[in-house]
Amino acid sequence: MWQTDWNKLIDLLAYHAHSPLIFSSGLFLFLFLGFSLVYALLQRRDTARLCFVVLFSYYFYYKSSGTYFFLLAVVTCADFLIARRMISTVSPVLRKGLLCISLVINLGLLCYFKYTNFFYEMLVPLWQGTFHPLDIFLPVGISFFTFQSLSYTIDVYRRQLQPLDKLLDYAFFVSFFPQLVAGPIVRARDFIPQIRRPLHVTSEMFGRGVFLIISGLFKKAVISDYISVNFIERIFDNPSLYSGVENLMGVYGYALQIYCDFSGYSDMAIGLALLLGFHFPTNFDSPYKSLSVTEFWRRWHISLSSWLRDYLYISLGGNRCGKLRTYTNLIITMLLGGLWHGASWNFVMWGGLHGIALAVHKLWSRTLLPALGFEAADVRTFFSRLPQRLCRLIPWLLTFHFVCFCWIFFRNATFEASWTMIDRIFHHFTPGVFTQLVCGYWEVFALMALGYLLHFLPDSCQQWCERQVIRLPLLLQALLVVVVIYIVIQVKSSDIQPFIYFQF
pLDDT in tens, 61-82: 888 888 888 889 999 999 999 9
**What pLDDT was estimated at residue 405?**
96
Residues 392 and 414 in one domain: yes
* Whether 305 contacts 262, CB under 8 Å: no
Q: Is residue 120 part of a domain?
A: yes
Same domain, 191 and 284: no
Strand, helix or coil for residue 60:
helix
Q: Is the pLDDT of residue 12 over 80?
A: no
The CA radius of gyration of the chain, in Å to the nearest whole number, is 24
The reported pLDDT for the residue numbered 2 is 47
Segment 320-339 mean pLDDT: 87
Collect all residues with Cβ–Cβ distance below 8 Å to 18 and sequence separation of at least 6.
none
Helix (H) / strand (E) containing 429: none
| Residue 184: C-alpha distances to residues 74, 207, 222, 400 (Å) | 21, 21, 22, 23
Task: Please report the pLDDT score of residue 501 as a whole number.
Answer: 67
Confidence check: pLDDT of 301 > 80: yes
Residue-by-residue DSSP string for 414-439 = SHHHHHHHHHHHHH---TTHHHHHHH
Q: Is the pLDDT of residue 52 over 90?
A: yes
Q: Are residues 190 and 229 in the same domain?
A: no
Give the C-alpha separation, 147 to 446, whole Å: 38
Same domain (yes/no): 212, 306: yes
Q: At 372, is the pLDDT very low, low, confident or very high (cuts 50, 70, 90)? A: low
Q: pLDDT band for position 1 (50/70/90)?
A: very low
Mean of the per-residue pLDDT values for the chain? 85
> What distance separates the 2 farthest-apart alpha carbons in the chain?
84
- 64 and 167 housed in the same domain: yes
> What is the arithmetic mean of pLDDT over 277-288?
91
Lowest pLDDT segment from 169-178, 312-321, 494-503 = 494-503
Using left for φ > 0, alpha for ψ between -120 and 50, and beta otherwise, residue 312 falls in alpha
Query: Does residue 111 sit within a domain?
Result: yes
Q: Is residue 471 part of a domain?
A: yes
Opening angle at CA 120, ends 332 and 408, nearest 5 = 50
Q: What is the pTM of this model?
A: 0.88
- Among the residue ranges 303-317, 346-360, 369-383, the one predicted with the least confidence is 369-383
The number of residues making up the chain comes to 504
Domain range for 267 is: 204-503
Decide if 486 is inside a domain. yes
Residues 133 and 88 in one domain: yes
Residue type, 422: I
Task: Give helix then strand counts, H and E, for the chain.
Answer: 24, 0
Last residue of a domain, one of 152, 172, 199: 199
8-state DSSP, 287: G
Question: Does 493 reside within a domain?
Answer: yes
Q: Is 428 a catalytic residue?
A: no
Computed from CA positions of residues 69, 71, 73, 75, in that sequence, does the dihedral angle turn out positive or negative?
negative
Q: What is the mean pLDDT of residues 123-133?
A: 75
Residues 195 and 230 in one domain: no
Instruction: Classify residue 3: in a domain, yes or no.
Output: no
> H-type helices in 90-176, by residue range?
92-123, 142-157, 167-175
Mean pLDDT calculated for residue range 94-104: 92
6 lies in some domain: no
Indicate whether 286 and 188 sit together in one domain.
no
- Alpha carbons 140 and 28: distance in angstroms, whole number: 17
Q: What percent of the chain has pLDDT over 90?
A: 34
User: CB-based contacts of 34: which residues, under 8 Å, 6+ apart?
Assistant: none
pLDDT of residue 371: 60
> In the 8-state DSSP scheme, what is residue 166?
-
Rounded to the nearest 5°, which phi and psi values hold at 443? -65, -40
Q: Which of 199, 218, 240 is the last residue of a domain?
A: 199
Annotated catalytic residue: which of 341, 354, 361, 401? 341
Q: Which of 149, 179, 199 finishes a domain?
A: 199
Same domain, 163 and 303: no
Question: Are residue 290 and residue 345 in the same domain, yes or no?
Answer: yes
Q: Looking at residue 369, what is its pLDDT?
A: 59
Between 141 and 305, the more confident residue is 305
Which range among 109-123, 164-178, 243-257, 459-473 shows the weakest confidence by mean pLDDT?
109-123
Same-domain check for residues 127 and 226: no
Question: Residues 315-322: what's their mean pLDDT?
Answer: 80
The rounded distance, in Å, linking the Cα atoms of 98 and 106 is: 13
- Per-residue pLDDT, 453: 94
Condensed to tens digits (0 to 9), the pLDDT of residues 376-412 reads: 444 445 445 556 666 678 889 999 999 999 999 999 9
Of the ranges 15-24, 39-48, 153-162, 266-275, which one carries the lowest mean pLDDT score? 15-24
Tell me the C-alpha distance between 237 and 98, whole Å.
Answer: 46
Please tell me whether residues 33 and 115 are part of one structural domain. Answer: yes
Query: How many Cβ atoms are within 10 Å of 453's Cβ, its own excluded?
Result: 9
Q: Evaluate whether residue 304 is within a structural domain.
A: yes
d(CA 170, CA 369) in angstroms, rounded, equals: 49
Tally of structural domains, the chain: 2
Which range, of 83-87, 180-184, 311-315, averages the lowest pLDDT?
180-184
